[in-house]
């Protein structure tokens, strides 16, 4: 699975074996060890999420399903298990629907992985170069116009797919979302233990991180409510 790293493959296999033996705590420890060494894959995150689900650590399960989804957006197992796990989140707030153009853009962007968009951007650019070569060697003016027009369309879609790749990479690396892993916390009106209590936040909430102040994070819930919670209550995506 992890090319040219037998040690990591062995650790991953051991974790899988422990999981099949219902030794979930031991399996989680080995999965986390593999992740801490800098190795990532949809399968690794998915198996880690399944392990935390079985341990009833819903926040960590959702976190790792979300990590797996970032790398493999169309994986049916990942998406199904993520939605199934969300059903176990207490008082999960509704999601405020995004405006139609933004929603469609994000759906298209995360329809495929960044690698998919990058490959197609490169393929289309190579086709564009080939068409431009044919354009310059063509002697018939009508043929030149058709090739130039077609090349322009291909170049446009090459730019679009390149932009989708870059945007998806930016979103993944922005680290401006997180998942609450504490069972229950009181969200505050400001980054201070003595600040007014606003509402309760429960394990498994996915939040946007708007700002940081020391060990506090300003978060926005999916229903638009804002508050401050301590960073230790989150795992940042």
User: Domains of the chain: which residue ranges?
Assistant: 6-86, 100-173, 177-236
Q: Is a pLDDT exceeding 80 seen at residue 97? A: no
Helical residues (DSSP H) of 21-94, grouped into ranges: 24-36, 42-54, 58-71, 76-86
| Predicted TM-score (pTM) of this structure | 0.82
pLDDT tens digit sequence for 146-172: 889 999 999 999 999 999 999 988 887
Give the pLDDT confidence score for residue 1 in this predicted structure.
Answer: 58
The answer to whether the beta carbons of residues 59 and 237 sit under 8 Å apart is no
Question: For residue 9, what pLDDT is reported?
Answer: 84
pLDDT band at 3 (very low <50, low <70, confident <90, very high): low
Model pLDDT for residues 167-222, shown as the tens digit of each residue? 988 887 878 999 999 999 999 999 999 999 999 999 999 999 999 999 999 999 99
CATH code of 177-236, in short, is 2.30.30.40
Residue 78 token pair: 């990942």
Q: Which CATH architecture has domain 6-86?
A: Alpha Horseshoe (1.25)
Secondary element (H or E) of residue 172: helix 141-173
**pLDDT of 73:** 85
């Amino acid at each position: 699975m992890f090319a040219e790293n037998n040690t990591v493959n062995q650790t991953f296999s051991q974790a899988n074996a422990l999981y099949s033996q219902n030794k979930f705590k031991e399996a989680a420890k080995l999965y986390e060890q593999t992740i801490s060494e800098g190795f990532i894959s949809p399968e690794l995150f998915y198996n880690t999420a399944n392990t935390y689900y079985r341990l009833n650590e819903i926040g960590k399960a959702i976190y790792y399903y979300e990590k797996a989804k970032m790398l493999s957006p169309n994986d049916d197992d990942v998406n199904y298990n993520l939605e199934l796990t969300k059903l176990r989140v207490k008082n999960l707030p509704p999601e405020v629907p995004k405006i139609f153009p933004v929603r469609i853009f994000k759906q298209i962007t995360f329809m495929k992985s960044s690698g998919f968009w990058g490959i197609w951007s490169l393929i289309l650019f190579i086709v564009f170069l080939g068409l431009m070569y044919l354009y310059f060697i063509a002697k018939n003016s009508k043929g030149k116009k058709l090739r130039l027009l077609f090349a322009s369309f291909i170049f446009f879609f090459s730019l679009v797919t390149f932009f989708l790749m870059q945007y998806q990479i930016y979103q993944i690396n922005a680290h401006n979302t997180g998942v609450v892993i504490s069972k229950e916390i009181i969200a505050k009106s400001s980054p201070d233990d003595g600040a007014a209590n606003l509402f309760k936040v429960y394990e498994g909430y996915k939040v946007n991180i708007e700002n940081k102040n020391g060990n506090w994070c300003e978060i926005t819930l999916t229903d638009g409510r804002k508050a401050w919670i301590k960073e230790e209550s989150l795992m940042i995506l």
